[in-house]
Amino acid sequence: MKKRRLLSSGLALCLTAGLLAGCSGGNGSSTSSPSPTASATASNAGGKQEPAAEAKSYTIKLFTTRIQPDPGAPILKAINEKLGHTVEVTAVPDANYTEKLNLYYASNDMPDIFQAATEEIRKNGTAKFTEEELKTHMPLSYAAGLEQFEEYGVTKEAAMKRFSVDGQLASFTMGSKELIYPYGLVIRQDMLDDFGLEMPKTLEDWEVFLKAFKAKYPDKYPLTSRGKDSITQSFYPFLSAFGTTYGNWQLKDGKLVYGPFMPEMRDALALLADWYKAGYINPEWITMDNAAVNNDWINGNSALMQWVNLGNAISAPFSPGSIFESLSLGNPNAKMAWAPFPVWKPEVLPAVPTYEGITNYGVSFGKHLEQDREKLYAAMKVADQLASNKDTWMMLTYGIEGQTYDMVDGLPVIRKEVNSNEGRVKEGFGWYFLAIPGRNWAVNETTKTQVYKEQFGKYAQNDDGMYSRKNTDWAFNHVNGVLTSPSGENLDVKGKAKSEEWGTIFASVIIGNKSLEDFDTFIAAWKKEVGDEMTEAANRLYLEQWL
């Protein structure tokens, strides 16, 4: 086995403990069975028809997150038949993806299709390919990418450079047009009405609302967050009010600055600590994951849902099985409304986290496929078809019409009995989250509801919308690669311990286990140890992309 530099702490222990047992490998076998799309005959030089060479049908191992379909699931089987290859899916929770990928990498047993979650793996664990190979074997996604890059304000040359390592492509993504727009906030409008309050706009308005909620429901908590599985999103609407973010490099006054290092972060933590003491924040938030936060909302125990896609219907008719329908069924008087991000000072736009149109990371293919170009091309075709072929994408996303979804007013609606993770696992659809070459807008748009189109237009695309660029600062991360010192030292590695400690400090200050003075001491030490170098590197390496 080729020796690898280990990428995460405790990896040797994990390997010794046998955590790789039963994992999907990267050197999936191929068979000589003909692909359903293979041509039956070919002509020789004299024009005589002869049997064509059989196209191999490969086993393609794909590593993703969230949904682990049953191997014998009917829709997964149907997708494989359509592709002409057997896709074996391995999925883990979002929080475990990088760790698991590191294990694959360390054991020299990479999947065929995955997202290279670290720069080390992107450089040394991926098959390299040319733009011509991309254009030939992923033609649908390539063409869509060229169109979408223009909308992001990125040239083809700049995009390909981001995907490349030493002049060769290591990954590819079309990006996602939807993700460049902010996610919204949904508030309990019925509670505002009950308290005789207007929609909160400032932090002071929010404090009035939270106080009224606590007075009426002393055993409930209006605010909560995903401290267990997504601390980076925790209480972000209130960080945003101060113009800062948990961990993004933001463009401020012509320079890149790191959210935690901004002085306004201290102000934001002071407010959240006060709100925690007042009982406005669920004391269990550190141990709550996505499911727990959703359940809190569905059961009517919280007043705000954060990070809500603008495509969600928050009034009847709801999407079947959505958390908004579930809340309404349990609380018939509940009414919901989109809420603006709170304002701290009139001159400070809320720094709303969004995603850049494209990053360095998209779909990648295992390094071992460099030794088998035909299988590499098969894997590229699989990724292309799953993301950009309308029929395959429909089957992957919604399943089979009449079985898992029905067409209602010209749009697919997933049946309630399978509109859950368990239903998707059993039926075998909805499992392609990571390891995809982005979102093909021309394909995706065909299934968008009128509600979706109207809300995106009204709230984000329209200059007067509450989530527009005019009214908020779209604070996506402006550093899209590794940070290195002038001598070549990897500052992401050097600063890894402090970055992880930041999550502990962030939570500890909010719940009162650490003081603001402890925060000051930590930030000073972080900047001295590596933070000042990080800031210099961010501006040296990436600032010119944004000016």
Q: DSSP letter at 343?
A: B
324: its two tokens: 């908004």
Domains 24-31+54-178+360-446 and 184-353+477-545 share a fold: yes
DSSP string for 428-480:
T-S--SSS-----HHHHGGG--HHHHHHHIIIIISTTSTTSTTTSEE------
pLDDT confidence of residue 359: 74
pLDDT higher than 60, residue 8: no
Q: What are phi and psi of 31, to 5 degrees?
A: -120, 170
Query: Lowest-pLDDT range, 101-110, 185-194, 235-244, 451-460?
Result: 451-460
* pLDDT tens readout for residues 378-395: 999 999 999 999 999 999
Angle at 432 (CA atoms; ends 124, 31), nearest 5 degrees = 70
Element (DSSP H or E) covering residue 185: strand 184-188
The confidence score (pLDDT) of residue 154 equals 82
What percentage of the chain has pLDDT greater than the value 70?
Answer: 90
Measured from the Cβ of residue 543, the count of other Cβ atoms closer than 10 Å reads 16
Helix 139-152 × helix 156-163 angle, to 10°: 110
- For residues 213-241, give the mean pLDDT: 97
Output 358 or 245, whichever has higher pLDDT: 245
Distance between CA 28 and CA 16 in Å, rounded?
24
pLDDT of the residue at 238: 98
Fold assignment, 184-353+477-545: D-Maltodextrin-Binding Protein; domain 2 (3.40.190)
DSSP 223: B
Q: Domains of the chain: which residue ranges? A: 24-31+54-178+360-446, 184-353+477-545
pLDDT tens, position by position, 11-69:
332 322 332 233 333 333 333 344 433 333 333 333 444 444 567 999 999 999 999 99
Mean of pLDDT over the chain: 89
Determine the Cα–Cα distance for residues 396 and 73; give it in Å rounded to an integer. 12
Question: Is residue 193 very low, low, confident or very high in pLDDT (cuts 50, 70, 90)?
Answer: very high
Is pTM beyond 0.75? Reply is no
Do 513 and 506 form a contact (C-beta atoms < 8 A)?
A: no
The CATH number that domain 24-31+54-178+360-446 falls under is 3.40.190.10
Q: What is the pLDDT of residue 536?
A: 98
479-510 pLDDT tens trace: 877 899 999 999 999 999 999 999 999 999 99
pLDDT at site 35: 40
Q: Please report, rounded to a whole number, the percentage of residues in the chain having pLDDT higher than 90.
A: 76
pLDDT band at 179 (very low <50, low <70, confident <90, very high): confident
Closest CA to 323 of 309, 343, 341: 309
